[in-house]
Chain A
């Protein structure tokens, strides 16, 4: 198994280099004195200062955060209820609904994007933050359902009966037993929804309107007209935030695991 160990490690390293190269590039250039993103000429924090006066970019960031937070909250709520309900109850057409839920997961995003755009146009809805949020909810819900369902399937379903048996009413059973029990699935579903929403370009491209530019759309427009280095600065800051959150959450996990191992 240990044959060619160095070659294998080199391969792993190269794949990671490939994955991180564009990000590292952006970070490095965010500190570059030259605004041209061509060669590194000197260190500066100028772009970080400029970033805070670039209202277009900040507005786009604000929109992105609003859309992601709202759509994540709504889709996590509906998705969690749905995963529990679909597990618990039978109804006519359940099979069909279950099949429909896979559609946003498998069809190319662009198809969902143009279908939603067509419907908004049909209903004469003005494209804006509203349609953007609805669209993000539309593609997030199935992912939340799948995440929650995975955890439900590995949960001992008798806990619900046990809770009733011990005197808990339906609501208490849901809030005190079922939700905490499937919390890992809810959290991973919400994380997934949030990530998908932050990352989405294609569906936003079709369903956003004037004044509801999100960061990806803003950057898309800027790449065509010319990007300013404060975008690099913003990207760097975002990566920093994400890395911090990741490190903190994995530290919490490690501590929790250690605590359980100690016993």
Chain B
């Protein structure tokens, strides 16, 4: 059994009468890379700040390494934060910035020197020790901010959208770097971002936060393959969502009717006739249908083809409903005004209405 490093127990946060966090419980394991992902304003940064102590909870408990830290002030918590805009001390050199936390903890000077040297090597910034932050590039500042946190060997490192001010290329590079450093140090990372690519590529688990609650917490793969809510399906990747009603059930098969007046057969999951469902089909789950007269067949009027290297994204309509799908370019496909699509009922995700609030 993995050790729980951070435990949130029904954490709530109100701010000026507004409920920012509406009761979040969450276990984060030792050495884990967990990402809090959500649209801006969903409460993810606030949640992170309650863990660092920079924000007080309105109710609920927070445990770090088994210890109740709910009322412990930030500087007494064994966590460190990497801020969105780095928050480097501009009057201090790189070396002084990194050593600041150790100095505050009254670590002996000689030890500070060796530990700072170690992390400077780790972030590959040798030779920059005496520079001021203003003399560094964005990526270098980012590394220093990271080093300033990890040099203290915190139990948990909190990262608040640390890459958002970097350009695309640098961001990709830093993602790899972050992951490497996290693995090497074995520190628990809690990472906040609104960028799903970032979340999916780096995290062990991702918690999708919306409107102050966790919609789903899972591995990146599971979030994509088996979203538990419409929001998650929509937020992670692209998806076609259809409202549907169960028409009839046989033993292990059910016939349901989609909003586009199309009946399809799916696996029966103890459905009742008349029950309302949401069917989620990813664009790449559609296949070109060549056979005549098959079940689960969509007839799509295509509108737009967007070429994208190995595949082409196609926008089209079934009745009045807009859908999108992907054609792999090695498929034998010529642009058509009308195409037939099929899918495997094993792949698609069906949500029962009561899964939604």
- A residues with a Cβ closer than 8 A to B are 156, 158-159, 161-169, 172, 176-177, 180-181, 183, 260, 263
B135 at the interface (CB under 8 A from A): yes
Q: Is the CB of B135 within 8 A of A159?
A: no
- B residues with a Cβ closer than 8 A to A are 52, 54, 73-75, 79-81, 83-92, 100-101, 104-105, 131-132, 134-135, 148, 152
Kindly list chain A residues whose C-beta atoms are within 8 Å of the C-beta of B85. 156, 158
Q: Is the CB of A158 within 8 A of B80?
A: no
Kindly list chain B residues whose C-beta atoms are within 8 Å of the C-beta of A159. 87-89
Bound Cα distance A168, B104 (Å): 6
> Known contacts being A260-B135, A263-B131, is A164 close to B89, with CB within 8 Å?
no
Bound Cα distance A242, B92 (Å): 30
Kindly list chain B residues whose C-beta atoms are within 8 Å of the C-beta of A172. 104
Instruction: Give me the 7 closest cross-chain CB pairs, A-B, nearest first.
Output: A166-B101, A158-B87, A167-B104, A162-B87, A180-B91, A167-B75, A164-B74
Name the contact of A177 in the complex, choosing from B73, B75, B89, B135 (C-beta under 8 A). B89
> Known contacts being A156-B85, A162-B81, is A181 close to B91, with CB within 8 Å?
yes
Bound Cα distance A260, B134 (Å): 10
Bound Cα distance A181, B97 (Å): 13
B86, B91, B134, B135: most-surrounded residue (chain A CB, <10 A): B91
B73, B75, B86, B105: most-surrounded residue (chain A CB, <10 A): B75
Kindly list chain A residues whose C-beta atoms are within 8 Å of the C-beta of B83. 158, 161-162
Q: Is the CB of A183 within 8 A of B91?
A: yes
> Chain B binding site: helix, strand, loop or mixed by DSSP?
loop
Q: Is the CB of A161 within 8 A of B75?
A: no
Q: Is the CB of B81 within 8 A of A165?
A: yes
> Known contacts being A260-B132, A263-B131, A263-B135, is A167 close to B105, with CB within 8 Å?
yes
Bound Cα distance A166, B148 (Å): 8
Kindly list chain B residues whose C-beta atoms are within 8 Å of the C-beta of A169. 75
B83, B87, B135, B148: most-surrounded residue (chain A CB, <10 A): B87
Bound Cα distance A34, B100 (Å): 65
Listed by A's residue number, 29 A-B pairs whose Cβ atoms lie within 8 Å are A156-B87, A158-B83, A158-B84, A158-B87, A159-B87, A161-B81, A161-B87, A162-B81, A162-B83, A162-B89, A162-B148, A163-B104, A164-B54, A164-B75, A165-B80, A166-B75, A166-B80, A167-B105, A168-B75, A168-B104, A172-B104, A180-B89, A180-B91, A180-B92, A181-B90, A183-B91, A260-B134, A263-B131, A263-B135
Kindly list chain A residues whose C-beta atoms are within 8 Å of the C-beta of B73. 164
Kindly list chain A residues whose C-beta atoms are within 8 Å of the C-beta of B105. 167
Q: Is the CB of B100 within 8 A of A166?
A: yes
Q: Is the CB of A166 within 8 A of B104?
A: yes
B83, B89, B152: most-surrounded residue (chain A CB, <10 A): B89
Kindly list chain A residues whose C-beta atoms are within 8 Å of the C-beta of B54. 161, 164-165
Bound Cα distance A11, B355 (Å): 80
Kindly list chain B residues whose C-beta atoms are within 8 Å of the C-beta of A167. 75, 101, 104-105, 152
Kindly list chain B residues whose C-beta atoms are within 8 Å of the C-beta of A162. 81, 83, 87-89, 148
Bound Cα distance A176, B101 (Å): 12
